[in-house]
Chains A and B, each alone.
Chain A
Amino acid sequence: MKEDMHSKHSEHDHKPFKKVSKQEHDHSHTSIEDIEINSWKKKMIWSWIFTIPIAIVMLFDRIFGLSLLEFAGDKGMIIILLLVAFPVVFIFGFDTIKSGLRGLFTFYFNMDSLIALGTIVAYLTGIGAIFGIMQDYSGVSAMIMAFFTTGKYVEAIARGRASKEIKKLLELGAKKAKILRGKNEYEISIEQLKIGDIMIIKPGEKIPTDGVVINGDSAVDESMITGESIPTDKIKGSSVIGATINQDGILYVKVSKIGKDTFLAHIIELVEEAQGTKVPIQRMADKITSVFVPAILVLALLTFINWWYFTGDLSRALGVGVAVLVIACPCALGLATPTALMVGSGMGAKRGILIRKGEAIQTMKEVKIIVFDKTGTITKGKPEVSDIYSKVKEGYLLEMAASVEKLSEHPLSHAIVTKAQDSGIKKFKEVKSFKILRGRGVEGKIGNKSIIIGNQTLMKERKISLKGFESKIDEFEGNGKTTMIVVENSKVIGIIGVADAVKDDSIQAIGLLNAQGYKTVMITGDNERTAKAIAREVGIKEVIANVLPEDKAKKVEELQKQGMVAFIGDGINDAPALKQSNVGIAMGTGTDIAIEAGDLVLAKGSLVGVVQAINLSKATFRKIKQNLFWAFAYNVVAIPLAVAGVLHPVIAEIAMALSSITVVTNANLLRRRKI
């Protein structure tokens, strides 16, 4: 699968703008839909212009027994009705009739086949009526078509509304970019941007495409992509995402990704592909839809024959047959799932939750166990100084330690340097004879002081007494902190505890999941002590520690014996576990998004997104079930009524139009739910 994605990308490399350029997206999306809406609107308006007079004439004739067309005589009236109904059925309804008849002849039956047959049969009764063989239903044919076009028009609008958020996503991209060439600023269109160009982004402007800040600092509003409402600070070296909005400073950004490779383009592709995936519960409805039309054709024919045979009333039999044809509505069945999925995924996209597989939202409600990867998922994935215990001034301790650690590339060293910088230390001391003692620590000389920073092994090696610090060291390590001992001239002056800190909202998110009755489990390659300390902090009861990365999937498999498992990981190294689990939720942090890994992908790396994703999946699935219920119920009730001859064909057509409108509208109501 991964290879496919890549080969697909490379195919387009020589024309990177071809598919993603904003205009094309607009073109392929809005316009097809708008054309559809407008064309139904036109058909609807014209149909009614001709149908309303027919309706008035029929109303007076059938209900009050008054003939408004008395001057023309009985036959004249039928001829006038036939003439007026003709354009409605055969001109404004041309597309429907054409598609329907083609369906009948090629055996690719569709909805139109039913309407075409229904209206044509009804129309032909008018011709029969001229010869006095049967009752005239020609006016009815116009009314059926008029209501059909109206229903389609309303349905098209409602469907458009269902894809509102997704359309917004497509419209997010910037159209122009300002770039620096030499000392001059040029404005160019987004298609002309090249990797390596320097873009200038002023306050309030949209960042044209993905890149890295090379100069300037500012806060950037990334809510449209990640759902994160607080602007993110950007400094030199930070990555920025195209389509996000620069708030208050000028940024100089070097373009790193363009066209199809940008973050936004990936998200759009994910969302579009999700629309094409099926939710299993829909399968049954799809099976019915595929045999629905031929079944109804047969049923209508049988109904007609039966009525004719048993009542001998040809007109009545025809009327009932037409009612059966036009009342059957496979549309409500077929729209039940896709519309709800569309609304649900749109709501998700707005919040940085991408539903990749429709199946996941159905599986989600069966999930009992939620397994979290520790590093980078529950925690920030970067060690930070969490505790300092010192016999000297803390500032002095940090200054000494950071000056030496600055020369090392180790993550623990970074943590100490960052802490020193955060607490206001700007300049570091000069260090001589610096040495890295691999696996144990570092040492160096500052002036005439010899500094050693390292673990207990190093202290033992150098025979340095830990007196006065033992209990603190035990306390730090008991809490899962990596402890570094700072020694000045062979005397311990303080200890620094470093830990991979828990993300701000992990505790809240896991608390919510526990409260909802999920069994929460943490899985990690760390030692048991560190793992348990983190688990305690966030409220996870079960810990699986000392797991090699390649064994994570196996552990998930074991847990699956107890129930459905959702696995939450950061998507890059957790891919096998994400695949093994019943629902894989990948956390895409920053600009990296692991496309192939998860069934659901979170654009921002916060666990609150997991809670939202679970709630959204469940709400969407409930909506799908509701919709399917209504669609089935409608057909199960309405078709027998039509067969029984209780429903006039026009009423049948109105009911049909309403059924699909109801389903689409109900899907739109999903938006009212708080996620």
Chain B
Amino acid sequence: MESIVFGIGITALAGALATVAGAAENTESDIGSQGDPNSQVQLAPQMGYLHRIFNKAIAGEPPAWGLWIALGAGIAWAFMAMQINPILAIVLGAALATFVQGVYATTAYLGRIASLAKFGQPVFIDILKSMTTVTMAHAFVAIFAAVTVCHLMNAALGHPFPLPLLGLVWGIALGAAGSATGNPFYGKERQYQNQKYGAGVPIAASGNIVRYAEAGERNSLDNGWFSARLGGPASGVCFGLIVFLELWRTVLFEQIGAGWGAIIIGIIIILVFTVIDRYIEVWARKNFGAYVKPTEEAS
């Protein structure tokens, strides 16, 4: 009984940390325009829309985050193997991984912008200085939280994988959940704020991203502020729920029926999410209605 209570506590802590990691991950990638919305930041200068948005094309989010978390976990593992206190080891691992992330961010921006020289897009050094530091701060939060989750799984819950392998697995999952949830909110809702609300961006409008802010010219910090409103927290809850439910069903129900308990609970959870999803879909169809004869609006 005591071990189950302990397990539940660890599960809740891991879920909470994963939520923080997911929220920070999405905000970080949106400040850098990483992932799929990056294509528009790349396209805009080619269509004649020069901008002051950070273009952090390191890799897609899942592989990039697979590296950051695995790297943080690997360095933390190495320091722990050298008999350093786990908390300090995780902080050092996250710090070094953040340094690598920051260097990759600068080379990605410089590389992409220099390759756009044909279209006259200048390299803005102030962007590099102010945005990189902010993405690094978010990255540190996400890496620290995610590596801690992996350490809890390994040390407290007894998962057989070593820490770096867990880092790779959950880093890719973190990037997948964060990019799936957060990308549309940044890509459509923020980059194309000038387009009609409640409709997809017409393909003809591609590249015409919003480049001016409430005052002055928009930069990626404005986008981080916007993402932190919904995209970030939603990504956080998404990843937090994944980690929490996965651990919860195993810790509580694996002993029942030689493992079948956890499977049945897993199926029930999937069915519950299916019902919620269907409810959302029907709700939207009923309340928003169809796009009956859309008005001919110039885009």
A complexed with B: no
Residues of B within 8 A of A (CB): none
Residues of A within 8 A of B (CB): none
